[in-house]
Chains A and B, each alone.
Chain A
Amino acid sequence: MKQVLSVQNMSVTFALHNSEVHAVREMNFDLAEGETLAVVGESGSGKSQAFLAIMGLLARNGRTGGRAMMGDVNLIGMATDQLDRYRGKDIAMIFQDPMTSLNPSLKIKTQLSEVLVKHRGFDKAKATNTAIEMLERVGIPEPAKRANAYPHQLSGGMRQRVMIAMALLCQPKILIADEPTTALDVTVQAQMLDLFKTLTDDFGTSLVLITHDLGVVAGVADRMMVMYGGRAVEKGGVDDLFYDPRHPYTLGLLHSTPHIAKRAARLDPIQGLPPSLEHLPKGCSFNPRCAFAFDRCLIERPPLTDAGSGREKACFYEGPMAYGKVA
């Protein structure tokens, strides 16, 4: 299959007063055309920063290394004005908080149509019409009226729909959605995921879904990348990882997610807290929280290695992983 994005050895570091924090290290993945990749991890695992870096949206003290190839274009280290030819057109992003991600002082139609004016060269009237069509497409009732509204006049779900419409206006090759449902009501979440699926299928857009919610992943994603402490610890097809996790952290995540069919009295959360990126434990970053850790894990960091059938994992433990053994 054709690859639309190929990330090679990417790293993200932030310069602090006297030190550096490595938010993302040695990240490698490919994104195929039309595919949905879920990037899963706890807060601080580096999942958001990695994709903000690709979009050139890091905080000013952030530095990105490695390459992110979109076709033969490397998005990393590109000058902003050149990057602006691709951002919003070929690669678009949706953010976690729809309440603050739209400009409160501009009408919805202004915020939508400007994308088409900039990237497609439409005149204002044509851009506004296309924007209204797109609003209808993402399920906004009375789109022509809503287009004249300001963001504060819309609900959170509506605003996120507007964000989706905005991101898809130019039918981008890649859509990055950073926790797009986290700030929404549960009922709206499901609708939103359906919408993602339909639209990305319609446009042939590849979707990167950044989330900590495995329930979201199960319904939508094809492949999944689990991140911990700034590194990918397991990669593979969603079904493989769900039914046969090979990394104790993936297993732990699965057990922390409520399941409607299993009548477990309690959830089985991963003990402890995610590590501080400034003070990662020696050896495997996950070892203080891992039930399978043995002496090698404390000294050596497991590399991400091929685990067969298109899967990769970063773990030395090879034995069976039984339910309830995590933590």
Chain B
Amino acid sequence: MISYAFRRVLSAIPIVFLTITVCFFILRLAPGGPFDGERALPVNVLKNLRAHYNLDQPILTQFFLYVGGVLRGDFGPSMVMEDFTVSRLLSIGLPFTLMLGFTAFIVGTIAGLVAGALAAVNQNRWPDYLLVFVVLIPLIIPNFLMANLAQLIFGVYLGWLPVGGYRAGSYINLVMPILILAMPHGARVARLVRGSMIEVLGTNYIRTARSKGLGAALILTRHAIKPALLPVVSYLGPGLSYLLTGSLVVEQIFALPGIGKYFITAALNRDYGLVLGTTILYVFIILALNLIVDVLYAWLDPKVRLN
């Protein structure tokens, strides 16, 4: 198992390198730069700024300088927020974003599991039809629209929840963003669980379990859940990474202090260092999640474990 994990970590290196390369050049291809504003800067100032950030060097040199920095753990300065390094900004925003993403992940996964299992057990009866319909809604409506609608309905018209913002400890402000984030994730999980659970409930070994008189609850929790989770688990890794990236938009809509705020402003301002730094961080998170999923997989499926 350990050598397997080690090999996985090694295979991640080229992926990270490739991501850095592609993102670096794509960013430079986009028109504009970090120092373009509504009012053009004086030529001399611009020249000094570009020299300061190595932007006057040939692009390949810039690339190797950047990669060298990353290898030393230095993501460079933010080009727009002058007094901050990229690492500093990330360390301010990341904990909040992770907290938001993971909470939504847990809420969505649990809700999806329960809803999916409920639908499967009641296949082709009204609870199933209802759940299949309800689950479609967050899959059809994109979260930025859903978020605005929720703000309008629950924040403005009904006044039940705050529209946005966050101060340390005011968890009520997080209810709406977490639910908005969790809904599409939960919906996907529910659909997966429903499908795989229906398949598992039709297998011979579930018939065996029924013939033993174990009772519906035990059959579901001991015999059906584990095999039914297999396809779900392989989705959870990518699912969590969607949540963490999706939270960038949701944070922006609800004016929350995560990395999302930096990332989106950085992209709009062509803050090369900050965009790249955030992207690399996300690549790391996604790779780590996939590794965790594969290890979990081995636990669920004994055949994988022994091979």
Distance of A78 from chain B, by nearest CB (Å): 12
Select one of A55, A92, A118, A152 contacting B218, CB under 8 A: A118
Q: Which residue of chain A has its CB nearest to the CB of B202?
A: A59
- The docked-state distance in angstroms from the alpha carbon of A56 to that of B212 is 11
Neighbouring B residues of A114 by C-beta, 8 Å = 212, 214, 218, 222
Neighbouring A residues of B227 by C-beta, 8 Å = 103-105
Please determine whether A92 and B208 come into contact, CB atoms closer than 8 angstroms: no
B37 at the interface (CB under 8 A from A): no
B223 at the interface (CB under 8 A from A): yes
Chain A window 160-175, contacts with chain B (Cβ cutoff 8 Å), 1 for yes, 0 for no = 0001001000000000
Neighbouring A residues of B223 by C-beta, 8 Å = 103, 106
Please determine whether B209 and A150 come into contact, CB atoms closer than 8 angstroms: no
B47 at the interface (CB under 8 A from A): no
Neighbouring A residues of B303 by C-beta, 8 Å = 104, 150, 152
Neighbouring B residues of A118 by C-beta, 8 Å = 212-215, 218
Neighbouring B residues of A55 by C-beta, 8 Å = 211
Chain B window 193-207, contacts with chain A (Cβ cutoff 8 Å), 1 for yes, 0 for no = 000000000011111
Please determine whether A105 and B218 come into contact, CB atoms closer than 8 angstroms: no
Neighbouring A residues of B302 by C-beta, 8 Å = 104-105, 150, 152
Neighbouring A residues of B204 by C-beta, 8 Å = 95, 97, 100-101
Please determine whether B212 and A115 come into contact, CB atoms closer than 8 angstroms: yes
Please determine whether B210 and A95 come into contact, CB atoms closer than 8 angstroms: no
Contacts A104-B302, A150-B302 known; A88 to B205 CB distance under 8 Å? no
Select one of A80, A100, A106 contacting B216, CB under 8 A: A80
Please determine whether A89 and B213 come into contact, CB atoms closer than 8 angstroms: yes
Neighbouring B residues of A92 by C-beta, 8 Å = 211-212
Neighbouring A residues of B301 by C-beta, 8 Å = 104-105
- The docked-state distance in angstroms from the alpha carbon of A105 to that of B196 is 15
Chain A window 86-111, contacts with chain B (Cβ cutoff 8 Å), 1 for yes, 0 for no = 11110011010100111111100010
Distance of A95 from chain B, by nearest CB (Å): 6
Distance of B61 from chain A, by nearest CB (Å): 55
B226 at the interface (CB under 8 A from A): yes
Interface size class of B (residues with CB under 8 A): 20 to 34
B300 at the interface (CB under 8 A from A): yes
Contacts A106-B223, A114-B222, A152-B302 known; A101 to B205 CB distance under 8 Å? yes
Neighbouring A residues of B222 by C-beta, 8 Å = 106, 110, 114
Neighbouring B residues of A311 by C-beta, 8 Å = none
Chain B window 218-238, contacts with chain A (Cβ cutoff 8 Å), 1 for yes, 0 for no = 100011001100000000000
By CB atoms of chain B within 10 A, which of A88, A89, A153 has the most?
A88
Neighbouring B residues of A102 by C-beta, 8 Å = 205, 208
Contacts A104-B302, A118-B218 known; A83 to B213 CB distance under 8 Å? yes
Neighbouring B residues of A163 by C-beta, 8 Å = 208
Q: Which residue of chain A has its CB nearest to the CB of B299?
A: A105
- The docked-state distance in angstroms from the alpha carbon of A152 to that of B213 is 24
Please determine whether B212 and A100 come into contact, CB atoms closer than 8 angstroms: no
Distance of A16 from chain B, by nearest CB (Å): 14
Q: Which residue of chain B has its CB nearest to the CB of A118?
A: B214
Neighbouring B residues of A103 by C-beta, 8 Å = 205-206, 208-209, 223, 227
Neighbouring B residues of A88 by C-beta, 8 Å = 211-214
Neighbouring B residues of A106 by C-beta, 8 Å = 222-223, 226
- The docked-state distance in angstroms from the alpha carbon of A153 to that of B306 is 10
Q: Which residue of chain B has its CB nearest to the CB of A112?
A: B212
A301 at the interface (CB under 8 A from B): no
- The docked-state distance in angstroms from the alpha carbon of A213 to that of B177 is 65
A57 at the interface (CB under 8 A from B): yes
- The docked-state distance in angstroms from the alpha carbon of A87 to that of B215 is 10
Please determine whether A93 and B218 come into contact, CB atoms closer than 8 angstroms: no
- The docked-state distance in angstroms from the alpha carbon of A101 to that of B203 is 8
Please determine whether A101 and B213 come into contact, CB atoms closer than 8 angstroms: no
Neighbouring A residues of B300 by C-beta, 8 Å = 105
A81 at the interface (CB under 8 A from B): yes
A84 at the interface (CB under 8 A from B): yes
Please determine whether B213 and A57 come into contact, CB atoms closer than 8 angstroms: no
Chain A window 120-159, contacts with chain B (Cβ cutoff 8 Å), 1 for yes, 0 for no = 0000000000000000000000000000001011000000
Select one of A56, A80, A95, A153 contacting B208, CB under 8 A: A95
Please determine whether B208 and A87 come into contact, CB atoms closer than 8 angstroms: no
Distance of A178 from chain B, by nearest CB (Å): 10
Contacts A105-B227, A106-B222, A106-B223 known; A119 to B213 CB distance under 8 Å? yes
Beyond the given pairs A102-B208, A106-B222, A115-B213, 13 more chain A to chain B contacts, judged by CB atoms under 8 angstroms and listed by A's residue number, are A55-B211, A57-B207, A81-B216, A87-B213, A93-B211, A95-B204, A100-B205, A104-B303, A110-B222, A118-B212, A118-B213, A153-B306, A166-B208
In the A-B complex, the 10 residue pairs with the smallest Cβ-Cβ separation, listed nearest first, are A87-B213, A88-B213, A88-B212, A84-B213, A100-B204, A150-B302, A103-B205, A105-B226, A93-B211, A101-B204
Q: Mind listing 29 A-B residue pairs with CB under 8 Å?
A: A81-B215, A83-B213, A84-B213, A88-B214, A93-B211, A95-B208, A97-B204, A101-B205, A101-B208, A103-B205, A103-B208, A103-B209, A104-B205, A104-B302, A105-B226, A106-B223, A110-B222, A114-B212, A114-B214, A115-B212, A115-B213, A118-B212, A118-B213, A118-B214, A118-B218, A119-B213, A152-B303, A153-B306, A166-B208
